[in-house]
């Protein structure tokens, strides 16, 4: 045990441990009075992260924990303004701000690289969580309320409104969400996981304000809390803030919140339920088999379950996934395949989607017989070793993406912390991996795990979820009937109360708070310069660029190929080609052998495309095809050989594999609609503004989803469809082989010379390529007014306007304008008053378009009118310099958001490859900081005009007649 680190006298130091694989020290403390735990992950990283987590265990599906998470952030004792959370987003340089509701915990995290900003946010978060005002009007806004369709007319129809109510209508439009909630309902018959913690839309209106207050009093207490922090601020300083601002005002809560163990079944359970669908397809069912396992806080049990899940399902060569992928009982493996280890008790599940309803028993039998076969024959030792290798890679990798690295570490330990497990052991997996390496030498180890955890486990549930084309109609009718009954029973006084509350809420939503009581950062706190990254460029037939970065012993490698001129078919199938490139065989090896090879030497292979318009012309493009991987330093040569072999010798003759991948891709794309509806709507709205925007809609928009469905259907009907696509792939591949190439490497500086030498040696015989890069996409410049109809309970709306582009002086003002409209008008109109889960506006530099959007929105035409009203508000109202500063801060915060060390190096490489030099980016940053209110009005007048307007919505088929009557072009999948 390390020496006791400095800590506040109100806390007891428990232990500390340096974790070599993560290069951090994890310190554990306990508050003496309340028993609150504090885990501090000490690092020299200047992006500091805070999270407070609370064990929240709902006993119904009214969404109390979720609605409370929203309402808690609507004002507190020290900050009695209506919306401190969203206000602080605008007054901050945060790199992350959010709140989460899980099945059994609620968490409030934020991150910032600026110490002043971090302390500002810490004060607001601590006060919000532990001293929330919980105003009843905020509960009405965020949770649910009754309103008349015409708010001041008691004779009009009653409706349910509320942000969470609409959010969950959107969430439960996702078949995958319905499948998960249905499975957990039966896997956990008696505890909190039985219920939908987010809230079932049919149950949310049952939650009373008094229920909300009672839940807050019992769950939002330091004795039920865990504080988790990461970064270079000492634990002692953080604890002083915790003690002063919160903990000194509480005593220990004797009654502990807990999650009881699930009652175990003595024999398997089989259940069938339905999901809302446009039509009942014969092969539209989902069949999933799930088992309840042991507790996630038992690290040995957790790691055994993770290893078993990886061995069975990690890649296409894994024995269970291989059988599921190749089965003709279904279209693709279920999206639920895998281990869920974030709950107190773990669950393992697998199955198929696209199943005929009558084949449920056959799918279950297939799963069980496959497991029995694996248990009988065992698993090759190199496959088990490869899975341990993958776990080591995931342990070492410093992540990036949407979450700060420190928050990723915190979230990895949060569930364990909430359930009083060993957080340090959870984060320090090297000892467990070492112990597991010894255990797996026993050839019966994996077969025994299969037998113990699955085959001999009677707590097994088989779910069949089948399409029901009348379900949404029945659900909507039940809601209407319920509202009619409520209205019929209302007295005149109660009707007036509803009208009065609606009026009071509108007044509250429109009030202008004194924001000066909230802390803030200003433009003076913005860093003066963007970071500059060192890199070494090695010339030659195959140029190499090396970035020295702290990567915890990993090497990131990319083969970057100039995209050549492509014909129309090659262009159409480029993303499909990329998605399959690393999933097929190589040379004499079939795809199964290649999947095994990938797992043994690296963290998998990926292929992608990086395409951007030039600064000078939105219709002119630079494009690159990229093969990527990552590996331990010791495996650089093997990874390089694998990348080269993939590029040179990929096979295009595995017909059944291609059909299977197309079916899986279709399933993923169809499932993405309700989660990404706002992105799909924006993509559609801006799709006719440039050639690239049009192609992106064909690739990744609603048109792309429709094409994925059509291709899958065609391949199922006729093998000639597969042959045609494979012929296009071969042409594409041939062109790429003759195109110019280069290599990008990111690793720790001490490994530079050896890594470059091994890479150059491995790639010595790859054709460098001499073809001139003349990649292009036909130009497009048209208007659009389109409605995409699908199965959804909510709407996604967008408008897009063609604007300036590249180095034009208006681009900076357009970039700031999105945040200005969101902060000042759209958030209130679309989210608070309209009830949508989200809404805003943004400038898209890739297409040179300004785009409005709404997300999980109960309204349609009213929201489109609100987009217009925000422009009118901008042009006719007077606005403050403070509001402008907040919008500028938001842009700078997003520009400065850090990624992982490898991610930042890769990003720097590609922005320069696409012609955006550091000098160009710093000049643009200076223009952002200099934007004026007059410039915002001027660009709105210039570009946001009716004659320049493009509109797209993703909505329900029930809206067809309404949309046709106002001139929308109707499209369906």
Give which of 466, 522, 530, 612 is closest to 888, Cα–Cα: 522
Give which of 282, 749, 253, 831 is closest to 548, Cα–Cα: 749
Q: Is 69 a catalytic residue?
A: yes
Give which of 604, 629, 640, 901 is closest to 749, Cα–Cα: 901
3-class SS at 482?
A: helix
Contact at 8 Å (CB) between 137 and 82? no
Contact at 8 Å (CB) between 884 and 877? no
3-class SS at 145?
A: strand
Q: Are strands 96-97 and 105-112 parallel, antiparallel or unpaired?
A: antiparallel
**How open is the CA angle 860-863-866, to the nearest 5 degrees?**
160
Report which secondary-structure segment, H or E, holds 450.
none
> Under 8 Å CB-to-CB from 581, ≥6 apart: which residues?
607, 627, 646, 650
Tokens of 703: 């048109």
The CB-based long-range contact list for 375-382 (8 Å cut-off, 24+ gap) reads 375/447, 375/450, 375/451, 375/455, 376/447, 378/443, 378/444, 378/446, 378/447, 379/311, 379/319, 379/446, 379/447, 381/440, 381/441, 381/443, 382/596, 382/600
**How is the beta sheet containing 605-613 ordered, strand by strand?**
536-538, 544-548, 741-747, 554-562, 621-632, 605-613
Contact at 8 Å (CB) between 712 and 283? no
Name beta bridge partners: 972.
Answer: 789
**Catalytic, out of 47, 69, 353, 583:** 69
Give which of 680, 948, 692, 684 is closest to 802, Cα–Cα: 948
Question: Do you know the residue count of the chain?
Answer: 973
The CB-based long-range contact list for 591-597 (8 Å cut-off, 24+ gap) reads 591/316, 591/317, 591/651, 591/654, 591/657, 592/316, 592/317, 592/322, 593/317, 594/646, 595/315, 595/316, 595/317, 595/318, 596/315, 596/317, 596/382, 596/383, 596/386, 597/642
The whole-angstrom separation of Cα 723 and Cα 157 is: 57
The whole-angstrom separation of Cα 277 and Cα 534 is: 53
Tokens 């190439």 belong to: 741
Contact at 8 Å (CB) between 955 and 963? yes
Tokens of 453: 């955890």
The whole-angstrom separation of Cα 52 and Cα 126 is: 8
- Listing DSSP states for 93-138 in one string gives --SEE--EE-SSEEEEEEEES-HHHHHHHHHHHHHHHHSB---HHH
Tokens of 363: 């799918």
Tokens 């809230």 belong to: 199
The whole-angstrom separation of Cα 799 and Cα 784 is: 10
**How open is the CA angle 856-860-866, to the nearest 5 degrees?**
100
3-class SS at 580?
A: helix
The whole-angstrom separation of Cα 668 and Cα 681 is: 18
Report which secondary-structure segment, H or E, holds 788.
strand 785-790
**How open is the CA angle 433-434-439, to the nearest 5 degrees?**
90
Active site (catalytic) residues? 69
């Amino acid at each position: 045990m390390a020496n006791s680190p400095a800590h506040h006298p109100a806390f007891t130091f428990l232990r500390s441990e340096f974790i070599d694989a993560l290069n951090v020290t994890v310190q554990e403390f306990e508050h003496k009075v309340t028993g609150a735990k504090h885990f501090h992950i000490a690092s020299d990283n200047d992006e500091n992260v805070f999270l407070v987590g609370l064990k929240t265990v709902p006993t119904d599906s009214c969404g109390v924990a979720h609605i409370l998470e929203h309402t808690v952030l609507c004002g507190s004792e020290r900050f009695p303004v209506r919306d401190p959370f969203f206000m602080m987003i605008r007054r901050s340089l945060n790199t992350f701000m959010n709140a989460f509701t899980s099945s059994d915990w609620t968490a409030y995290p934020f991150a910032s690289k600026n110490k002043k900003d971090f302390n500002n946010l810490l004060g607001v978060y601590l006060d919000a969580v532990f001293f929330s005002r919980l105003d009843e009007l905020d509960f009405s806004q965020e949770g649910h309320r009754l309103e008349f369709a015409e708010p001041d007319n008691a004779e009009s129809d009653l409706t349910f409104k509320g942000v969470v109510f609409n959010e969950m209508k959107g969430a439960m439009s996702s078949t995958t969400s319905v499948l998960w909630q249905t499975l957990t309902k039966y896997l956990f018959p008696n505890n909190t996981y039985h219920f939908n913690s987010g809230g079932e839309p049919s149950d949310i209106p049952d939650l009373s304000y008094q229920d909300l207050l009672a839940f807050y009093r019992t769950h939002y207490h330091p004795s039920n809390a865990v504080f988790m922090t990461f970064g270079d601020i000492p634990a002692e300083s953080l604890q002083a803030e915790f003690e002063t601002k919160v903990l000194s005002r509480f005593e220990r809560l004797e009654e502990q919140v807990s999650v009881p163990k699930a009652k175990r079944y003595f024999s398997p359970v089989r259940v069938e339920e339905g999901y809302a669908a446009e039509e009942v397809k014969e092969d539209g069912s989902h069949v999933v088999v799930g088992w309840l396992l042991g507790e996630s806080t038992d690290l040995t049990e957790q790691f055994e379950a993770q290893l078993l899940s990886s061995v069975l399902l990690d890649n296409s060569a894994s024995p269970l996934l291989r059988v599921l992928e190749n089965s003709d009982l279904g279209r693709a493996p279920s999206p639920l395949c895998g281990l869920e280890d974030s709950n107190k008790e773990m669950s393992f599940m697998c199955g198929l989607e696209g199943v005929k309803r009558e084949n449920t028993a056959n799918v279950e039998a297939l799963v069980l017989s496959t497991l029995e076969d694996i248990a009988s024959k065992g698993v090759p030792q190199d496959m088990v070793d490869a899975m341990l290798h993958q776990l080591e890679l995931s342990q070492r990798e410093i992540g990036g993406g949407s979450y700060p690295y420190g928050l990723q570490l915190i979230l990895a330990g949060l569930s364990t912390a909430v359930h009083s497990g060993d957080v340090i052991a959870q984060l320090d997996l090297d000892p467990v991996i070492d112990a597991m390496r010894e255990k797996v030498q026993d050839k019966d180890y994996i077969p025994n795990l299969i037998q113990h955890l699955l085959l001999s486990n009677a707590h097994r549930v088989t779910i069949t979820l089948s399409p029901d084309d009348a379900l949404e109609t029945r659900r909507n009718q039940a809601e209407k009937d319920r509202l009619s009954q409520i209205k019929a029973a209302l007295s005149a006084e109660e009707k007036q109360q509803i009208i009065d509350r609606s009026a009071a809420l509108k007044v509250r939503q429109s009030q202008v708070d004194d924001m000066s009581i909230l802390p803030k950062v200003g433009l003076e706190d913005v860093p003066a310069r963007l970071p500059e990254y060192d890199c070494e460029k090695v010339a030659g037939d195959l140029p190499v660029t090396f970035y020295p970065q702290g990567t915890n012993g990993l090497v990131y490698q990319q083969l970057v190929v100039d995209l050549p001129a492509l014909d129309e078919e090659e262009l159409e199938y480029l993303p499909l080609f990329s998605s399959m490139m690393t999933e097929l065989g190589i040379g004499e090896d079939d795809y199964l052998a290649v999947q095994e090879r990938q797992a043994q030497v690296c963290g998998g292979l990926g292929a992608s495309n990086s395409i951007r318009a030039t600064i000078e012309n939105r219709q002119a493009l630079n494009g690159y095809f990229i093969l990527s991987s990552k590996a331990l330093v010791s495996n650089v040569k093997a990874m390089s050989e694998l990348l080269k072999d993939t590029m040179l010798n990929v096979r295009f003759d595995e017909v059944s594999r291609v059909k299977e991948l197309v079916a899986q891709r279709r399933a993923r794309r169809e499932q993405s609609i309700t989660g990404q509806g706002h992105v799909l709507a924006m993509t559609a709205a801006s799709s006719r503004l440039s050639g690239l925007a049009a192609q992106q809609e064909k690739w990744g928009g609603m048109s792309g989803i429709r094409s994925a469905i059509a291709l899958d259907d065609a391949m199922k009907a006729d093998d000639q469809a597969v042959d045609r696509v494979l012929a296009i792939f071969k042409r594409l591949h041939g062109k790429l082989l003759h195109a110019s190439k280069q290599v990008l490497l990111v690793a720790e500086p001490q490994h530079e010379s050896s890594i470059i030498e091994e890479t150059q040696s491995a790639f010595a015989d790859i054709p460098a390529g001499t073809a001139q890069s003349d990649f292009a996409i036909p130009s497009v410049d048209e208007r659009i007014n389109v409605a995409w109809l699908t199965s959804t309970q909510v709407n996604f709306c967008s408008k897009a306007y063609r604007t300036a582009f590249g180095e034009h002086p208006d681009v900076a003002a357009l970039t700031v304008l999105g945040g200005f409209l969101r902060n000042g008008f759209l958030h209130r109109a679309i989210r608070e008053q309209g009830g949508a889960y989200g809404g805003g506006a943004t400038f898209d530099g890739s297409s040179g378009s300004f785009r409005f959007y709404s997300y999980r929105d109960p309204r349609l035409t009213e929201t489109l009118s609100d987009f217009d009203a925000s422009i009118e508000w901008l042009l006719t109202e007077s606005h403050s310099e403070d509001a402008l500063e907040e919008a500028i801060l938001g842009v700078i915060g997003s520009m400065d958001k850090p990624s992982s060390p490898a991610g930042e190096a890769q990003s720097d490489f590609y922005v320069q490859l696409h012609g955006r030099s550091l000098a160009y980016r710093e000049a643009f940053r200076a223009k952002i900081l200099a934007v004026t209110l007059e410039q915002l009005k001027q660009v709105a007048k210039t570009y946001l005009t009716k004659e320049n307007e493009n509109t797209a919505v993703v909505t329900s088929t029930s809206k067809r007649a309404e949309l046709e009557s106002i001139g929308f072009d109707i499209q369906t999948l």
